[in-house]
Amino acid sequence: MLGAGASLARLLRRAPPLCLQRRSRGGRLRVREALAAQAPGGDVRVQGWVRSVRSQKEVLFLDINDGTSLQNLQVVADPKLESRDLGFGSSVEVQGKLVKSHNRKQNVELQAEDINIVGPCDPMAFPFKLKARHAMDYTRQFPHLRCRTNTFSSLLRIRSKATAAIHSYFQDNGYVHIHTPVITSNDCEGAGELFQVETASKTSEPGKNPHFFNVPAFLTVSGQLHLEVVTGGFVRAFTFGPTFRAENSQSRRHLSEFYMVEAEISFTESLQDIMQEMENLFKASAAAILSRCQEDVELFHKYVAPGHKDKLDHMLKNKFVIMSYSEAIEVLKKAPEAFSFKPEWGCDLKKEHEKYLVKHCADIPVFIINYPYDLKPFYARENEDGPQRTVEAVDLLVPGVGELYGGSLREERLHVLQSRLDRLGLLDTYQWYLDLRQFGTVPHGGFGMGFERYLQCILGVDNIKDVIPFPRFTHCCLL
């Protein structure tokens, strides 16, 4: 009796190669691959969704797209292949031959021999209409369908490439990728804007701890504290994942669920090192996005945010500006504008302040450093600067968005951190954090960048809800 290995080998010898199996039905091509074909010929299959139908007496034209390209593939067919279910929005599989196209806009077209309608679509009921340019606030009402639009399909391709570019930057620069937890018992920012995690059933046995984890648990607002744990053994680490804020806001710049890029660096005593890493990440990732998603980015710069390309080029070619918080307050006090919130030393910077400071710096991103002690979380390293207590913290402000990054050196001095936690009544909660300072601590720092805000900055999109597939914000959780 043959063993399992011998049986598998015999089956493999009998089976025709996969390429031959495919060729018998026509090799399957994605639209992007078909459009890039240099030597058309041979039977192929293309699957996708119909973007337009033009029926003439002697010929039927279809444009189909499968999400791999902004451009559609033109299909040329005999009108006899048309059916009443072949309309805008329907899904199809087309079998035929790739041939040289007479259309200047594309290299090839597909001469159809067979059109199989996989899923019909009623164009009258479909919320998106042929050749219509729908406003982004309109498409936002249909999160389950808006990936069918040119603008949002481009956004999703850009988002995918941007994610890869950010990972590539960190991997190329010696960072270890860490999956930090979504459920945590820590409030990293200390602002109290937390979603508490509870079981669906509220019942608990008498005398038993009512909490599933025995302690209150929350959706994370940041992976930073867990990254600090990891950089007790790794010099560089980063995380890239969902974060949550229970902020009661429906503004154009806030979400309840969004993605954060966070990095932590050990053995650094310089805020300048942290800022340089922030600037490098911004520019390297932007260059990769512009290179790999040229056509999709151009759609945004041409139709969604005309003129934004020049603004982005201006940001990328200039060294970012550095300004202290105290200098920023003086600039704001001397501004000719009447702000809704009067700028005073010790106040938090509002959106109107951020907008003016970026404008003051010629629309070049600006680092604001050395914030008042009371404006930043407990982990920011305290400066030794006399009566005006400040910390070595930094925010990066960018045109159109405002705050994009936040970062700081972390307080590694045990006695200083212990004293601050004691004043805040957090000694017991963060005893583990103090342990990090007792067992082989090093000077370190890090930063976090809002991924959706970054996409807004690159593309010029005004509303943050239009750069994430399924936006969650107060009073709205569609799907």
Q: What percent of the chain has pLDDT over 70?
A: 92
Is 43 inside any structural domain? yes
Contact 197/217 with Cβ under 8 angstroms? yes
Question: Mean pLDDT, to the nearest integer, of 61-77?
Answer: 95
pLDDT band at 405 (very low <50, low <70, confident <90, very high): very high
Contact 252/463 with Cβ under 8 angstroms? yes
| Residue given tokens 């151009």 in the structure block | 298
Cβ-in-10-Å burial (0-12, 13-18, 19+) of 117 comes to middle
Regarding whether 281 and 234 lie in a shared domain, the answer is yes
pLDDT per position as a tens digit, 180-220: 999 998 875 555 688 998 888 776 677 677 778 778 889 99
Structural domain that includes position 42: 15-119
pLDDT per position as a tens digit, 212-244: 877 888 999 999 999 999 999 999 999 999 999
Is 379 inside any structural domain? yes
Return the CATH number at 300. 3.30.930.10
pLDDT at residue 187, rounded to an integer: 73
Is 38 inside any structural domain? yes
| Residue given tokens 């080029």 in the structure block | 313
Contact 444/432 with Cβ under 8 angstroms? no
Asked if the model's pLDDT at residue 301 lies above 90, the reply is: yes
Question: Mean pLDDT, to the nearest integer, of 102-130?
Answer: 90
Q: Which two tokens stand for residue 254?
A: 């806030």
Residue predicted with more confidence, 275 or 131: 275
Regarding whether 339 and 281 lie in a shared domain, the answer is yes
pTM: 0.90
Is 131 inside any structural domain? no
| Residue given tokens 């970026």 in the structure block | 358
What are φ and ψ of residue 217, in 5° steps? -125, 150
CA-to-CA dists, residue 289 to 158, 160, 450, 478, angstroms? 7, 10, 16, 29
Neighbours of 265 (CB within 10 A): 25
Question: Mean pLDDT, to the nearest integer, of 388-417?
Answer: 95
pLDDT at residue 3, rounded to an integer: 52
Chosen domain end from 84, 119, 154: 119
pLDDT at residue 252, rounded to an integer: 82
Query: How far is 461 from 304, CA to CA, in rounded Å?
Result: 7
Total domains present in the chain: 2
Is 244 inside any structural domain? yes
Query: How far is 359 from 457, CA to CA, in rounded Å?
Result: 15
Dihedral class, residue 429 (left if φ above 0, else alpha if ψ from -120 to 50, else beta): alpha
Chosen domain end from 119, 137, 171: 119
Query: How far is 107 from 240, CA to CA, in rounded Å?
Result: 39
Asked if the model's pLDDT at residue 145 lies above 50, the reply is: yes
Regarding whether 328 and 424 lie in a shared domain, the answer is yes
pLDDT at residue 26, rounded to an integer: 61
Query: How far is 373 from 352, CA to CA, in rounded Å?
Result: 22
Regarding whether 200 and 165 lie in a shared domain, the answer is yes
Chosen domain end from 101, 119, 137: 119
Regarding whether 71 and 169 lie in a shared domain, the answer is no
Mean pLDDT of the chain: 89
Please choose, from the candidates 140, 148, 143, 144, the residue with its C-alpha nearest in 3D space to the C-alpha of residue 123: 148
pLDDT band at 461 (very low <50, low <70, confident <90, very high): very high
How would you classify the pairing of strands 176-177 and 218-219?
unpaired
Residue predicted with more confidence, 39 or 287: 287
Regarding whether 51 and 155 lie in a shared domain, the answer is no
pLDDT at residue 474, rounded to an integer: 86
| Residue given tokens 């990440």 in the structure block | 281
Regarding whether 164 and 52 lie in a shared domain, the answer is no
Is 442 inside any structural domain? yes
pLDDT per position as a tens digit, 23-49: 345 689 999 999 988 767 778 999 999
Regarding whether 254 and 383 lie in a shared domain, the answer is yes
Is 472 inside any structural domain? no
Regarding whether 162 and 51 lie in a shared domain, the answer is no
Cβ-in-10-Å burial (0-12, 13-18, 19+) of 231 comes to buried
Regarding whether 404 and 286 lie in a shared domain, the answer is yes
Regarding whether 115 and 207 lie in a shared domain, the answer is no
pLDDT at residue 191, rounded to an integer: 58
| Helix, strand, or coil (residue 374) | helix
Which amino acid is it at 206? P
Regarding whether 155 and 106 lie in a shared domain, the answer is no
Which amino acid is it at 443? P
Query: How far is 200 from 322, CA to CA, in rounded Å?
Result: 49
Is 3 inside any structural domain? no
Ranges 54-58, 258-262, 421-425: which has the least confidence: 54-58
Query: How far is 239 from 231, CA to CA, in rounded Å?
Result: 12
pLDDT per position as a tens digit, 326-363: 999 999 999 998 999 999 999 999 999 999 999 999 99
Give helix then strand counts, H and E, for the chain.
14, 16
Return the CATH number at 22. 2.40.50.140
pLDDT band at 15 (very low <50, low <70, confident <90, very high): very low
